[in-house]
Amino acid sequence: MSDNSFFREVDEAVRHDQYKKLWDRFGVYIIVLAAILIAAVAGYKGWSFWKERESQRAGAEFVQAMVLENGSDPAKATEAFEALADDAPQGYRVLSRFQLAAAQAKAGETDKAVTAYDALATDGGVDPILQGLATLQAATLRLDEADYAEMERRLKGLIEGNTAWRFSARELLGLSAYQHKNMRTAEEQFSALLGDQGTPPNMRDRANMMLALIVSSTPAQSSSTTN
Count CA atoms within 13 Å of residue 83 on its CB side: 13
For residue 16, the model assigns a pLDDT of: 58
The Cα angle at residue 66 between residues 60 and 67, in degrees rounded to 5: 90
Q: What is the pLDDT of residues 124-164, one digit of tens each?
A: 999 999 999 999 999 999 999 999 999 999 999 999 877 88
Does the global pTM surpass 0.75?
no
The pLDDT tens digits along the chain (227 residues) read: 445 554 455 455 545 565 566 556 655 555 556 656 666 655 655 545 445 665 677 677 777 777 777 776 778 888 888 888 888 888 888 988 999 999 999 899 999 999 999 999 999 999 999 999 999 999 999 999 999 999 999 999 999 877 889 999 999 999 999 999 999 999 999 999 999 999 999 999 999 999 999 988 765 444 444 44
